[in-house]
Amino acid sequence: MPLLKRLPRPVGLLAVLVLALVLVIGCAALPSLENREPSWALPQDQARETRIGRSASEPLAAHPGLAGIHPLPNAREAFATRVLMAQMADRTLDVQYYIWRADTTGLLLLDALIQAADRGVRVRLLLDDMNTAGLDPLLRAADAHPNLDLRLFNPFVVRSARWMGFVSDFSRLNRRMHNKSFTADNLISVVGGRNVGDEYFGATEDVLFSDLDVMVAGEVVSEVSSDFDRYWGSASSYPAELILGAASQVDRDHLDDAIREVRQTERARDYLRAVERSDFVREVRESDLQLEWARTRVFSDAPGKGLGYVEEDGLLSSQLSETIGPVNRQFNLVSPYFIPTETGVAALRRMTERGIRVRVLTNSLSATDVAIVHSGYARYREDLLEAGIELYEMKPLPEHAEMARTIDSVGASATSLHAKTFEVDGNWVFVGSYNFDPRSNDLNTELGFLIESPNLARQLVATFDETVPKLAYRVRLDDDGDLYWTSETDDGTERWDTEPGTGWFKRFSVGFFSLLPIEGLL
């Protein structure tokens, strides 16, 4: 190795060591799936005999062919929904997430799954392995429960020094399962943008996310369950024990202690009291929850996308475009990580040239939690504005918390936008995990509902008309083609000529990253 010979001795030794580690890790193969035990969702005819099935039978019979929809913009209601579903389930819980934190709400929700398993409910938990660092003892212990089966999607073989896994197996590990679903007895499901963690459920004073899920009841849930089965049985889903090893008593004690300790904290008690007092919980328990009845379809990427094996017709984006068809009147988009690419800008420009009104809400630089992604979006702002797109950027909102809690469609109740939804022609509404960026389109797997509901569409349009101008900056171009930002206030209109609420270094960093050829990874 002549190159190593030319390096100084300490550097050469370090390079040899790193190379040896990479080679060793590269040789660490994933285990065989040959003896993996198959399982499938509970058939809906059996699900109708559960408590959920009996309570839902009358309203479902009164709305044949339709799904009962309840949007969940409120973070605490979104948490309460999942806990109540776990408590009400009699036969099965199928749960699929990109992120599951070991924080207050993450441990409380894991405890709800374990309690369901204690009652004899079969729990299948499918987690993407990207964000499980440090959780192996807890995951091993949960998987050891006889009624709880845990699988990891695209797992890291070596559990420490994960960056080495990226070096040796980047093509696979760069593809992640971004889907989020929580399904009880194959009759009720929650799908949307939220992961599991305090920042998604309003249980932290740090970074909070404005997000949106929908709870859906009815026959369409069988499509969610079938999709879960596809992922559960895919070539990317590995039984946890094959990756993590068997649980020890120390692991079990660690999980029990973690759950007990979090339940004893003042934060958890205050949070649970607030959830328990919510109107939502009362309405559910009194069977008084209002539902929107609408035709609803599930859209999902084929799980083979996690290994790069999927045709164009297996992509969520292609399926949505084919179903919705051409946009005729209006398109309102909410996307926290919006990177339209040149192709997307051209498509939006063709809309506006046909007289279609296009409005986009994304995060401002001061509100985003991923500044490098903002760099991928920022380079297209001038092109978008020149094409006639109305562009809004969400403000960081701690000072607007009370106002933000009143938003029903977008669910802005925090500091950073995380909801992924759009409205088309006053008729269609999509809610799911899909971001309008290259990663969602080309690398990660995604999931969402397409709902045919003029009523829900009107709510999202009204949010853009009435609320977005108050909670977001409007981005514009001046006569010289330079960007500026405006905001509506009680005293009139305020203007900025640089990105509001940011320092020069953050703006410089975003500008620098926008020059790098990394768009396909964002």
Give the number of other Cβ atoms within 10 Å of residue 210's Cβ: 27
Catalytic residue among 305, 374, 395, 420: 420
β-strands 209-210, 416-417: how paired?
A: parallel
Q: What average pLDDT does the structure give for the chain?
A: 89
Helix (H, G, I), strand (E, B) or coil at 492: strand
- From CA 425, how far away is CA 490, in angstroms rounded? 32
Is 129 among the catalytic positions?
no
DSSP string for residues in 103-116 = SHHHHHHHHHHHHH
Catalytic residue among 94, 103, 129, 185: 185
Give, in order, the Cα–Cα distances in Å from 365 to each of 23, 249, 472, 484, 510: 40, 47, 12, 13, 9
Place of tokens 């607007």: 400
DSSP string for residues in 407-438 = -SSS---SSEE---EEEETTTEEEEES--SSH
Domain residue limits, the chain: 46-57+64-285, 311-521
User: Average pLDDT for residues 175-196, to the nearest whole number?
Assistant: 97
Over the stretch 355-404, which tens digit does the pLDDT of each residue have?
A: 999 999 999 998 888 888 888 999 999 999 999 999 999 998 654 444 33
- From CA 461, how far away is CA 425, in angstroms rounded? 10
Can you give the pLDDT at residue 398? Answer: 56
Is 185 among the catalytic positions?
yes
Catalytic residue among 111, 143, 418, 437: 418
Is 400 among the catalytic positions?
no
Residue 405 has pLDDT above 50, yes or no: no
Give yes or no for a contact between 196 and 100, defined as CB atoms under 8 angstroms apart.
yes
87 CB-contact burial (10 Å; exposed 0-12 / middle 13-18 / buried 19+) = middle
Helix (H, G, I), strand (E, B) or coil at 88: helix
Can you give the pLDDT at residue 406? Answer: 35
Question: What tokens were used for 141?
Answer: 């212990």
Residue 13 has pLDDT above 70, yes or no: no
Question: What is the identity of the amino acid at 469?
Answer: P
Over the stretch 282-292, which tens digit does the pLDDT of each residue have?
A: 888 888 889 99
Cα four-point dihedral sign 237, 238, 240, 244: negative
Place of tokens 């084919």: 322
DSSP string for residues in 322-353 = HHH-S--SEEEEE-SS---HHHHHHHHHHHHH
Is 5 among the catalytic positions?
no
What CATH topology corresponds to 311-521? Endonuclease; Chain A (3.30.870)
Q: Which residues pair with 295 in a beta bridge?
A: 452
User: Average pLDDT for residues 292-307, to the nearest whole number?
Assistant: 96
Can you give the pLDDT at residue 501? Answer: 86
265 CB-contact burial (10 Å; exposed 0-12 / middle 13-18 / buried 19+) = exposed
Residue 7 has pLDDT above 60, yes or no: no
Residue 196 has pLDDT above 70, yes or no: yes
Query: What percent of the chain lies above the pLDDT cut of 90?
Result: 73
Catalytic residue among 70, 111, 128, 180: 180
Phi, then psi, of 364 in degrees rounded to 5: -75, 165
- From CA 41, how far away is CA 46, in angstroms rounded? 10
- From CA 176, how far away is CA 165, in angstroms rounded? 14
Catalytic residue among 178, 305, 374, 395: 178
pTM: 0.91
User: Average pLDDT for residues 457-481, to the nearest whole number?
Assistant: 94
User: Average pLDDT for residues 80-104, to the nearest whole number?
Assistant: 96
- From CA 300, how far away is CA 449, in angstroms rounded? 9
Phi, then psi, of 161 in degrees rounded to 5: 50, 55
User: Do 46-57+64-285 and 311-521 fold alike per CATH?
Assistant: yes
Over the stretch 241-251, which tens digit does the pLDDT of each residue have?
A: 999 999 999 99
At the top level of CATH, the class of 46-57+64-285 is: alpha beta
Is 374 among the catalytic positions?
no
Is 118 among the catalytic positions?
no
Ranking 125-129, 132-136, 286-290 by mean pLDDT, the lowest is 286-290
Ranking 58-67, 112-121, 363-372 by mean pLDDT, the lowest is 363-372
Over the stretch 330-359, which tens digit does the pLDDT of each residue have?
A: 999 999 999 999 999 999 999 999 999 999
- From CA 460, how far away is CA 480, in angstroms rounded? 33
Give the number of other Cβ atoms within 10 Å of residue 88's Cβ: 18
Can you give the pLDDT at residue 10? Answer: 54
Can you give the pLDDT at residue 12? Answer: 52
- From CA 56, how far away is CA 60, in angstroms rounded? 6
β-strands 122-128, 92-97: how paired?
A: parallel
DSSP letter at 278 equals S
Ranking 165-169, 179-183, 216-220 by mean pLDDT, the lowest is 165-169
Over the stretch 27-47, which tens digit does the pLDDT of each residue have?
A: 468 999 999 999 999 999 999
Can you give the pLDDT at residue 22? Answer: 53
Over the stretch 470-502, which tens digit does the pLDDT of each residue have?
A: 899 999 999 999 999 999 887 888 999 999 988
Catalytic residue among 400, 425, 442, 470: 425
